[in-house]
Each structure stands twice: as C-alpha cells, then as structure tokens.
C-alpha cells in the first residue's frame, strides 16, 4: 500500500512560488478580508508556517491536505479548509492544484472560529471565492469590490461544517497509536484491540478518545481511512485496490462508507477532479 505521511512535508518557501501571492505581503492590509490565488504543480508541499489571520483554503482544482500538530484535514472538490490565525500548519497538494485562499481578521464577521474545520462550498460561495481573487488587495470597501467581499464574508458565516477531519487526541500514547494507524490503516481495528494495546479499560479508552478528539472511535477510524483514500483516488488508483488495502471486505463496503461521508460514489468523485 502507498504510504501517505500527511504530517511530513518537503520544505518550500512562499517567495519561490509566487511572490505577489504571498499571504505575508497582504495580511497586514487594513481590510477585514483579503484573497489570493495560486497554481501549484503536482505533489507540491508547503512546510510548517502560520498566518496572523485565519485562512480558508479552497482548491478550485485538485485536493489539498492540511496538517497541524492536532490532526489532519482534507478538502476534495466543493470543500474548503479553515485554519485559525496563529495555528502552525503544513499543506500538501495532490495532483496539480489551483487554490483560492482568503485571509480573515479574527474579529471580522464570517471568521470561522478558533478551530480547524472543513466547510461545504456552495456554488455561490465558489463563485465568490473565484471573484475575490480578482479583487485588488487594497480594494474600495464602499465600492463594488467591497460589496463582493462583504457578501463573501456573509456566505462564509453560513457555510456548514462537514466531517472530513482526523483530529489527534492529547494523550501522547494515543497520539502514537493514531499515527501508526495512518501509516497502516485498516477498517477492521476495534476498540478492544486499541484499549488492550494501550493497557486501558474499554470504557476508559472510549471516554478519553471521544473527549480528546470529539469523535467516536468508529467515526475517527472511518475518517482516517477516508483521508488516506482521497489522495489515492485523485492519483488515479483503482477503487478495488484502495478498498482492499484499507481492509474493507469488498469495494462495495468501501463505496458505501465513501458515499455516506462524501455524498458521491468513489468513481463519481474521481470524475469530478
């Protein structure tokens, strides 16, 4: 199985990519929200960095994976990843990627809070993100561009959160177990196996895992498998190969899980890339 170490990244400086689209050059401007767009080659990776403002990262083409010290978040088509200001993170591009990114002041209407999350991108929000990247950073707040940005903030405030996250717990021993699972994911791992490996009682482990991740063990395991599957699908691997590598009994079982979480079958998802 192809290993995808989502928390390890090759170093690349912003200035070597597109100096005019470097967030550090625009986030100081006296505007509640500024937008930038970038084009990345396949498998491009940004090393650990942070922004003063919160950042919403949307891939108009391709798939992006954002990792922090607390977990990993993935954005397939029609999704976007929110990273709060001051949060150190790294980004991995799957395939050639076109990003549309907005940087939002913490106290601005439309800021998405102080936790990482993935949001649903509606057709209107997608169009606004595209339009925002054509707006000059020092736009006229009272003019047409200012109205576009104000509507963008309004739509962001309404955007629903979707479950495409693999948060890490705080307990070091469980974090190591989670990282090992991402190295060798399997849909058959059980609570009893993990609690025994960690020398914990089943109830203690279950309560601790939910308290520290916000997810049940079963939900976390499914989302971890999905995190591994999405980039592999984007890379063109066969659904059957991915399903069996992840320990599903059949491609149909994998497809059922995938459609429940993503909304479309794996084959349809691949066609949308």
pLDDT for residue 204 is more than 70 = yes
Which of 113-122, 179-188, 248-257 has the least mean pLDDT?
A: 179-188
Question: In angstroms, how far is CA 157 from the centroid of its own chain?
Answer: 18
Q: Above pLDDT 90, what percent of the chain?
A: 60
pLDDT of residue 262: 84
Q: What distance in Å separates the CA atoms of residue 199 and residue 208, rounded to the nearest whole number?
A: 13
Q: Strand ranges (DSSP E) for 69-107?
A: 71-75, 79-83, 89-104
Q: What distance in Å separates the CA atoms of residue 24 and residue 31, rounded to the nearest whole number?
A: 14
| Maximum mean pLDDT: which of 11-25, 99-113, 122-136 | 122-136
> If you average pLDDT over residues 25-37, what whole number do you get?
90
> If you average pLDDT over residues 15-41, what whole number do you get?
78
Q: What distance in Å separates the CA atoms of residue 97 and residue 38, rounded to the nearest whole number?
A: 8
| Maximum mean pLDDT: which of 23-37, 73-87, 173-187, 195-209 | 195-209
pLDDT for residue 8 is more than 70 = no
What phi, psi does 154 have (nearest 5°)? -65, -45
Q: pLDDT band at residue 26, thresholds of 50, 70 and 90?
A: confident
> If you average pLDDT over residues 143-168, what whole number do you get?
93
User: Which pTM does this prediction carry?
Assistant: 0.82
Beta-carbon-side half-sphere exposure of residue 108 (alpha carbons within 13 Å): 26
Q: Burial of 187 by CB count in 10 Å (0-12 exposed, 13-18 middle, 19+ buried)? A: middle
pLDDT of residue 82: 97
Q: Above pLDDT 70, what percent of the chain?
A: 92
DSSP code of 89?
Answer: E
Q: How many residues does the chain have?
A: 273
- Inter-CA distances, 15 with 18, 22, 123, 151, Å: 6, 7, 32, 31
pLDDT for residue 18 is more than 60 = no
Per-residue pLDDT tens over the stretch 53-96: 999 999 998 888 999 988 999 888 789 999 999 999 999 888 88
Per-residue pLDDT tens over the stretch 96-128: 889 999 999 998 988 899 999 999 999 999 999
Q: What distance in Å separates the CA atoms of residue 160 and residue 149, rounded to the nearest whole number?
A: 19
Q: What distance in Å separates the CA atoms of residue 57 and residue 65, rounded to the nearest whole number?
A: 10
CB 207 within 8 A of CB 169: no
What phi, psi does 161 have (nearest 5°)? -80, 140
Which of 8-17, 123-132, 224-233 has the least mean pLDDT?
A: 8-17
């Amino acid at each position: 199985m192809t290993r995808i170490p989502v928390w390890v990244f090759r170093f690349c400086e912003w200035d070597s990519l597109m100096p005019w689209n470097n967030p550090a050059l625009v986030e100081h401007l006296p505007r509640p929200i500024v937008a930038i767009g970038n084009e990345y080659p396949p498998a491009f990776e940004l090393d650990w960095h942070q922004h003063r403002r919160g950042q919403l990262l949307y891939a108009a083409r391709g798939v992006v994976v954002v990792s922090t010290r607390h977990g990993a978040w993935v954005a397939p088509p029609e999704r976007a990843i929110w990273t709060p200001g001051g949060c150190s993170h790294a980004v991995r591009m799957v395939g050639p990627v076109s990003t549309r990114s907005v940087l939002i002041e913490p106290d601005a209407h439309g800021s998405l809070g102080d936790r990482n999350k993935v949001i649903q991108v509606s057709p209107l929000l997608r169009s606004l993100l595209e339009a925002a990247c054509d707006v000059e950073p020092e736009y006229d707040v009272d003019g047409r561009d200012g109205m576009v940005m104000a509507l963008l903030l309004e739509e962001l405030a309404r955007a629903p959160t979707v479950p495409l996250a693999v948060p890490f717990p705080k307990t070091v021993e469980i974090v190591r177990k989670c990282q090992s699972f991402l190295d060798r994911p399997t849909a058959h791992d059980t609570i009893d196996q993990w609690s025994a490996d960690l020398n914990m009682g089943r109830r203690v482990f279950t309560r601790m895992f939910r308290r520290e991740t916000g997810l049940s063990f079963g939900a976390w395991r499914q989302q971890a498998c999905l995190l591994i599957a999405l980039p592999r699908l984007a890379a063109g691997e066969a659904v059957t190969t991915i399903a069996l590598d992840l320990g599903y009994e059949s491609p149909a079982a994998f497809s059922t899980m995938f459609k429940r979480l993503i909304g479309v079958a794996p084959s349809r998802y691949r066609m949308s890339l």
